[in-house]
Structure 1
């Protein structure tokens, strides 16, 4: 079984995810099997499952990045910066660079539409929200500079970002101008995190 942490394993994982995403976009998520993904990627079904726990993760392969981004924002912040502000700055930076995780990247409408139309993908995203919440709460609990309720703050942060992101995705799929939408996305992020900052001070 390949080591998920080595460079070759990372390349294999990325290759499988790219092939799977292409098949899903072409034929629909529910119309492609793991066996078909493995064959198209030139690997075995066992290799696919060595890198991905479930079919949904083949498409949502960037989700693990979210956990590390959230934890790093808290862990690597300057001493004078609180965790809410650190996460806000990180999310604004992702939006500014039109990162795929911000839902502001160019040309991702087909990807977003496929997620919207597949109940199993929506369910996976909802489960992943809990994973981010747990990971963020653990990071806050281990941070000696933070003395508040880490579980509560993590839940509020995840909920705040979900509300902003869902609206951004809705408007992307409705055909809103990306430039104006990006500005509104940043404004909503700022408002949401200002409320969090005041409420948790």
Structure 2
């Protein structure tokens, strides 16, 4: 279904408010900017900001881009004949090649990353989000495979794939901090994903294959 005019305007408004907020946070620090100041700079009311973003951290980490369901969603959406690991590998490669914002592969992300690392509430949220992603993926894998309660395999697979996701983000962050441009970073991250796949055994790569 194509996006309607109303939905498109709401999406554009959300992005505008988020972009304005991030610009202010980068310039002055996350903790030193109020929601009222974000609203004024974006040309909207404080209530409008809260209608789109429940908490201040959502302005930097929108739930649709930083969701606990991210990895579980990738697995749910995989094509027939594809395993859980293959789906995650394919999506990460797609996002890296597309230099997607959710991975930090965009111009100017270095300053955003510095701002996030300086804000304790944002770093705590990122850490919590990583644990939530792994837990949600483990639940999805257990459900799909019919694993018995207490079976450690879904959690072990989810942990492996969660670590892969975290490693990609860490590599992007490390190279961004070093001043490398997005194109160069993307090339190195693709090599890293290839190396990680080579180390995965048949059991992991063949786990939870979606039926045809």
- In the superposition, the TM-score normalised over structure 2's length comes to 0.77
Partner of 2:132: 131
Q: Which moved more, 1:68-77 or 1:138-147?
A: 138-147
Q: Measure, in 2, the Cα distance between the counterparts of 1:146 and 1:196.
A: 21
Q: Which runs of 5+ in 2 are unaligned?
A: 1-5, 207-212
Deviates more, 1:172-181 or 1:108-117: 172-181
User: Helix, strand or coil for the counterpart of 1:187?
Assistant: helix
Equivalent residue, structure 2, for 1:163: 167
Residue 76 of structure 1: aligned partner: 77
Structure 1 pair 22/181, CA: closer, same or farther in 2 (3 Å)?
closer
Moved more, 139-148 or 164-173: 139-148
Partner residue, 2:144: 143
Unaligned runs of 5+ in 1: 1-5
Number of aligned residue pairs: 195
Q: In 2, are the aligned partners of 1:140 and 1:150 still within 8 Å (CA)?
A: yes
- In the other structure, the counterpart of 1:97 is 98
* Aligned residues: CA RMSD: 2.8
Distance 1:146 1:12 in 2: 43
Deviation at 1:49, TM superposition (A): 2.6
**Quick one: higher RCO (CA 8 Å, sep 6+), 1 or 2?**
2
Query: Is the CA contact (8 Å cut-off) linking 2:106 and 2:182 kept in structure 1?
Result: no
**2: CA distance between counterparts of 1:146 and 1:25?**
46
- Cα offset for 1:84? 0.3
1: distance between equivalents of 2:33 and 2:89?
A: 37
Q: 1:78 to 1:192 in 2, by over 3 A?
A: same
CA shift in 2, pair 1:197/1:107, >3 Å: farther
Q: 8 Å contact 2:71–2:134 — kept in the other structure?
A: no
Deviates more, 1:172-181 or 1:89-98: 172-181
1:92–1:186 Cα contact (<8 Å) kept: yes
User: Is the 1:134–1:154 contact (alpha carbons within 8 Å) kept by the matching residues of 2?
Assistant: yes
Assess if the C-alpha contact under 8 Å between 1:25 and 1:110 holds in 2: yes
Give the Cα separation in 1 of the matches to 2:16 and 2:185: 31
Pair 1:173 & 2:177 matched: yes
User: 1:77: how far off?
Assistant: 2.0
Measure the CA separation in 2 of the matches of 1:93 and 1:146: 30
Q: Tell me: CA distance 1:43–1:146, structure 2 relative to 1, closer, same or farther (3 Å).
A: farther
Equivalent-residue separation in structure 2 for 1:143 and 1:194 (angstroms): 25
